[in-house]
Every structure is written in C-alpha cells, then in structure tokens.
Amino acid sequence: MRQRKYIPVYIALGMAGLLMALPVLMMVCNSVMGGQELKEAYGAVLGDGAGRLSARLLPVYPTLQPYVELLLDSPDFFVMFWNSVKQVFAILLGQMAVGTLAAWAFARYEFRGRKILFLTYMILMVMPFQVTMVSSYLVLSRLSLLDSHLSLILPGIFSTFPVFIMEKFFRGIPGEVFEAAKVDGAGELTSFLRIGIPLGSPGIISAMLLSFLEYWNAMEAPMTFLKTKAKMPLSLYLPEITADQMSASFTASVIMMLPAVLGFLWGREYLQKGIEASGLKE
Amino acid sequence: MKRKTQKTAYLFLFPSLMGTAVFVLIPFVDVIRRSFLKAVGNTFVGLANYKDVLANQAFQEAVRNTARFLGVCLPLLLAVSFGTALMLYRLPAAKAFFQTVFLLPMAVPVASLVVFWKIIFHGNGFLNEILAIFWIQGKEWMSTDAAFGILVFSYIWKNLGYDIVLWIAALSGIGEEQYEAARVSGAGPWECFRYITLPQMKPGLVMIGVLSFVNAFRVFREAYLIAGDYPHESIYMLQHLFNNWFTKLDIQKMSAGAVMMAAAVSLFLCLLERWNEKQPADEDNRT
C-alpha cells in the first residue's frame, strides 16, 4: 500500500537510468555486429557519408569476429593496450607506496607545518592539469624524461588526491587500537604496517579504484608529454581508429571499457565510500 | 618525546613531500619567476607577459567560454543531482541498483564514448533521424552553438552519479529523530524539507560544489576528442588555449596564464571557504 506512491519515482528513475546506461549497452551490442552489418547501420556517420543511418541496438547476425580481428590482426592495439596497463599500474603501485605513508603522517600525527602542508596538498588536488602543465613540462625536460613512460608515471605517483582520500580513512580508525598496540610495545612503523594498513585497507582500495578510473582515462598528460606513437596509451589511440575499421572501433571501445567497468562493479561499495570520503570536510 | 613524534611524522611524509616538491612545487615557483621574464635573454619585463595574455583575443574568448560553461553546468549539475538524490534517498527497494546505474558513466572511458557521441550528433546521426520523423531539419550539431549544450550534457551525464553519492551521504547525516520531532509538532513534508533538510545541506553544498568544479575541467577530454584542437567557438575553452600555446611552445604566455589560473582557482576556493565559515549551520558539522 505504501509502496504505491513510489511508482512514479521508480518510473522517473528508470528512465533516467536507461539514459545513463544506454551508451554502454549500445556499444556492447554493436561490438558483436559483423563488418557488413555495421556498414549498413552506421556507414552514413562513420563511413563515406552515403546512405542513411539505421542504428539498431541488437545485431541481426551477432558474431565475435570483430574481437578476433582486433586481438589477432592489429599489433598497434596490443602495444597501446600494454602501454596503458604499464603506465596505470606503475602509477597505482607508486601511489600506494608513497601515498599511504603520507596519508598516515597526516592522519596520525600532530606536527609542525601539518596544517599548511595539508592545505597545500588540497590545493594541488583541485588544480586543473593546465595550471601545472608548463611547470611539469619544464621539469620533465630538465630531467630528460619527456617522451618516456616515466614522464607520466612519476608525476602520477605524486598526485595528492589519493593522499587526501586515504587520510580520511586512516583518521577513522579508533585511537584505542593504537593505545593497545603501544602497550604491547609496537613501534611506529609496526603499528602502521600491522594496524594502519589492514584497518585502512578499504580506504586504500577506494583511492586506488578512483585513481585507476582516472589514469585509465588519461588524456591530457600523455598528449602533452609523449611524442612517440609507440608509447601512447589506449585512450589516445582509440579515437584514431577510422571508418575503414568501423567494427574495430566498437570492439576496441568495449575492450578499453571492460577493465574499468569490471573494476567498477567489483569495487562499487569501495568506490562509493571513497567518493563520500572526498566530500568530507577536514 | 615530542620531538621524536615530529621526526617520525616527517619520515612518513618524506617520500611524498620530496616528489611533490620536485615535480610540482619547485617547478611552479620557477614558472612564476619565468612569467616575469622575456623569452630570450631572461631579462626582467615586469608585467608585460601578463598584459600580453590579457590582451590576447583568444584568451578573452576562452575565459568567457570557460566562465559560461562553469556558470551553466555547475548549478545545473548540483540541482539535478540533488533532486535525484532526494528521490533515491528514501527508496524502499533497489536503491543500490539505481546508484550503480547512475555511477556507471564514471567508469566509461571518454575514448570509448566518442564513437557513440558521433553516432548521435553527426549530421547524418541518430538525433537528426529522430528529428526527421517530426519534419525538423537537423544539422551537424558539433559545429554549431549546440556543441556547448552537448558538452554540458556529457558533463552532467558523467558526474551525476558522483554527486548523487555525495548528496546521499549528506542527507544520511541528518538524524531521523529531527524529522520525527517535527512531524509530531505537525510539520508537513514541505516544512520538514524546508526547515530541516535544506539548512543542513549547506556545508555539503560547498564541498560538492568544489568537487564538481574540479571535475568540470576534465570535460576538455570530451571536447577534444569530439571536436579536436580548434572546436566550434562556443566551446573553445582555457584548456584548448593552453594546449595550443603548448604546441607553439609559447612558454611565456603559458607561464603567465598558469599563474593567473592558479590565482583564480585559489581565490575561488578561499571565497567559498570564507562563505562557508560564516554559515552558522556549519558549527555542528565540524569535527
């Protein structure tokens, strides 16, 4: 009885939700369309411009052929895919090492300069890429790191965003736990490794997930700091797939989307917690 | 004892601090210095670079467009996400499902999306086909004023879920007993909303506003991938301008521009912070 008044709400949300999910659904469905069928459907937009568009959600003749073609016959795709993987995971590992330590320092200790340093980290977090673009370029060129994987990885590792997220989680660990550890004679490093890391792991996971989504999607930095095509990540290569590889472009989009969406579905709750943490005031 | 904690704290902080100093802080100080120098010969030119940038027509255009974009999309996103969060918040079932659906766009890489956007907004695209049914003449959407609207739409599409999660967190912070007490003394749903919910959303509003502002600068990815280096003039924004300066390696202009942009962003944050501090509702939310 009480449920009934929610029906309009469900309808509204359902329609909005469909709009949100439509691009994903359509892309996945189209990625199993054969080349001929795609040409008929989208030739007008992505091809030479002749004919009319007849977009359809479900393929008439579903096939996995585009996947086979892309994975076996396009060496470029492979190179770029691995570039993305290398760059993103190097950044994540680095952030995990450097960021957790810093977050721990901010969360657990009252030290001189804490306030101003934390404020600096927060300001750096909100600065758009374009503000630090010149300075990063200059320093990377001085260190002769331009046009290398490291030119993306090193600045990425020292991003302050994960520090900010993890700090919130570390701060949430109740103090009594540490008192108990101290009584047992645990040193500062031990209590970080034995208590901080395990109890703060939801924070670490959610920060890493947010970072993963961010760097998997990276565009500004690789565009600016890389020149050689063979080093580009997938996010820059994808848009270059042209009309003659129409089926490849859908398939490649789906393959690129897959790790992000799977990670997202796996860690949805962590992600949610992470986002909530980003909204907490200090 | 006290000194020892200080040392431990800095030991933990050291790697991160070093990296940040080397890759961000020191180079940025160098950029500030460069913004007052001439390109060749390193002679001091005072504010000449700044004047150059401010007089630059592309710069004025980009600032106007960026401001217009922020002015339209921030309030719109905040309002839409708040409305959706209100609907979701008290849902008896399937709340988690809807939250997941709304968050999904966050996981979709821009590069994957571009093909889809093209299919919709191309001259022979989906939107025009639909319009044709109603005998409306379509157009090449991305090369008209509509490009601006498309960008606003993609921004909202992408960030709606993120903001909904933040709003729901803020809404859940209000104790149920406050509503019950109000209901007992005869307040209707509207009074509850107006006098209990809204006032307590203010601190949330500031933080969500800041985060949405940060994310707004990422919309460059969509703009760039759909429309390239020189998009329709309505979406030529600061990010495009910096990119084009960069291609010409115009370090002087970029330095002065970066310093001004950093100053503008910091000023915006300070103003927001000041406004937030003045709000009495903030008192009980501070930890």
Contacts 24+ apart (CB under 8 A), B123-132: B124/A44, B124/A45, B124/A49, B124/A52, B124/A53, B125/A45, B125/A53, B126/A53, B126/A55, B129/A52, B129/A53, B129/A55
CB A247 within 8 A of CB A66: yes
| pLDDT for the residue numbered B30 | 92
Using a 10 angstrom Cβ sphere, with 0-12 exposed, 13-18 middle and 19 or more buried, the burial of residue A116 is: exposed
Q: Rounded to whole angstroms, what are the CA distances from B186 to A2, B154, B174, B181, B193?
A: 20, 43, 19, 9, 13
Average pLDDT in chain A = 84
SS3 B94: coil
Q: Which residue of A has its CA nearest to B30?
A: A135
Are the Cβ atoms of A52 and B102 closer than 8 angstroms?
Answer: no
Distance CA(B115)–CA(A212), nearest Å, equals 22
Are the Cβ atoms of B243 and A155 closer than 8 angstroms?
Answer: no
Q: For residue B157, is it left (φ>0), alpha (ψ between -120 and 50) or beta?
A: alpha
Residues 154-213 of A with CB under 8 A from B: 154-155, 157-158, 160, 163, 188, 192, 213
Q: Does A151 touch chain B (CB under 8 A)?
A: no
Does residue A44 carry a pLDDT above 70? Answer: no
Choice among A42-46, B12-16, B126-130, B193-197 with the minimum mean pLDDT: A42-46
How does residue A1 score in pLDDT terms, banded at 50, 70 and 90? very low
Are the Cβ atoms of B239 and A128 closer than 8 angstroms?
Answer: yes
Does residue B4 carry a pLDDT above 70? Answer: yes
Rg (CA), chain B: 24
Does residue A2 carry a pLDDT above 70? Answer: no
| pLDDT for the residue numbered B1 | 43
Contacts of A234 in chain B (CB under 8 A): 111
Write the pLDDT tens digit of every residue in A163-182.
Answer: 999 999 999 888 888 887 77
| Mean pLDDT, range B170-180, rounded to an integer | 88
Q: Does A44 touch chain B (CB under 8 A)?
A: yes
Are the Cβ atoms of B87 and A278 closer than 8 angstroms?
Answer: no
Q: Does A24 touch chain B (CB under 8 A)?
A: yes
How many Cβ atoms from other residues are within 10 Å of residue B279's Cβ? 14
SS3 B38: coil
Does residue B2 carry a pLDDT above 70? Answer: no
Structural domains present in chain B: 52-285 (1.10.3720.10)
Domain ranges of chain A: 2-63, 72-278
CB A176 within 8 A of CB A217: no
For A53-66, give the DSSP string: ----SS-SSB-SHH
| Mean pLDDT, range B222-240, rounded to an integer | 84
How does residue A142 score in pLDDT terms, banded at 50, 70 and 90? very high
Average pLDDT in chain B = 85
**What are the residues facing A33 on neighbouring strands?**
A62
AA letter at B171: L
How many Cβ atoms from other residues are within 10 Å of residue A204's Cβ? 24
CB B269 within 8 A of CB A123: yes
Q: Check if the interface score ipTM surpasses 0.90.
A: no
**What are the residues facing A62 on neighbouring strands?**
A33
Closest Cβ opposite residue B166 in set A105, A276, A282: A276
| pLDDT for the residue numbered B176 | 86
Q: Rounded to whole angstroms, what are the CA distances from A241 to A44, A46, A85, A246, B44?
A: 17, 11, 19, 8, 47
CB B23 within 8 A of CB A136: yes
CB B246 within 8 A of CB B254: yes
Does residue A244 carry a pLDDT above 70? Answer: no
Residue B97, phi then psi, degrees to nearest 5: -60, -50
Q: Does A265 touch chain B (CB under 8 A)?
A: yes
For a pLDDT cut of 90, what percent of chain A falls above it? Answer: 37
SS3 A1: coil
How does residue B11 score in pLDDT terms, banded at 50, 70 and 90? very high
| pLDDT for the residue numbered B71 | 94
The CA distance from A266 to the nearest CA of chain B, in Å, is 11
CB B212 within 8 A of CB B77: yes
Contacts of A236 in chain B (CB under 8 A): 111
| Mean pLDDT, range B168-173, rounded to an integer | 89
| pLDDT for the residue numbered A251 | 82
| Mean pLDDT, range A133-143, rounded to an integer | 93
Contact residues for A100 (Cβ-Cβ < 8 A; gap 6+): A166, A196, A197, A200, A204
CB B110 within 8 A of CB A27: no
Residue A185 exposure: Cα atoms within 13 Å on the Cβ side: 0
Choice among A24-33, A255-264, B105-114, B166-175 with the minimum mean pLDDT: A24-33
Does residue B287 carry a pLDDT above 50? Answer: no
Are the Cβ atoms of A234 and B111 closer than 8 angstroms?
Answer: yes
How does residue A241 score in pLDDT terms, banded at 50, 70 and 90? low
| pLDDT for the residue numbered B231 | 84
Does residue A215 carry a pLDDT above 90? Answer: yes
Write the pLDDT tens digit of every residue in A75-96.
Answer: 788 888 899 999 999 999 999 9
CATH topology of domain A72-278: MetI-like fold (1.10.3720)
How does residue A256 score in pLDDT terms, banded at 50, 70 and 90? confident
Does residue A52 carry a pLDDT above 90? Answer: no
Rounded to a whole number of angstroms, the distance between the first and last alpha carbons of chain A is 43
AA letter at A32: V
Contacts of B124 in chain A (CB under 8 A): 44-45, 49, 52-53
Contact residues for A95 (Cβ-Cβ < 8 A; gap 6+): A156, A157, A159, A162, A207, A208, A211
| pLDDT for the residue numbered A162 | 94
Choice among A160-174, A177-191, A258-272, B250-264 with the minimum mean pLDDT: A177-191
Alpha helices in chain B (DSSP H): 2-20, 26-34, 48-55, 57-89, 95-107, 110-121, 126-133, 146-172, 176-184, 189-192, 202-216, 220-227, 238-247, 251-278
Structure tokens at B142: 């991305």
| Mean pLDDT, range B58-66, rounded to an integer | 93
Write the pLDDT tens digit of every residue in B92-116.
Answer: 888 889 989 999 998 888 887 777 7
Does residue B286 carry a pLDDT above 50? Answer: no
Contacts of B118 in chain A (CB under 8 A): 45-46
The CA distance from A21 to the nearest CA of chain B, in Å, is 7
How does residue B130 score in pLDDT terms, banded at 50, 70 and 90? confident
Distance CA(B89)–CA(B82), nearest Å, equals 10
How does residue B283 score in pLDDT terms, banded at 50, 70 and 90? very low
Choice among A114-123, A142-151, B215-224 with the minimum mean pLDDT: B215-224
| Mean pLDDT, range B172-182, rounded to an integer | 87
Structure tokens at A184: 């047992």
Question: According to the per-residue pLDDT averaged within each range, which of A3-17, A30-44, B161-175 is highest?
Answer: B161-175
| pLDDT for the residue numbered A3 | 66
Q: Which residue of B has its CA nearest to A117?
A: B17
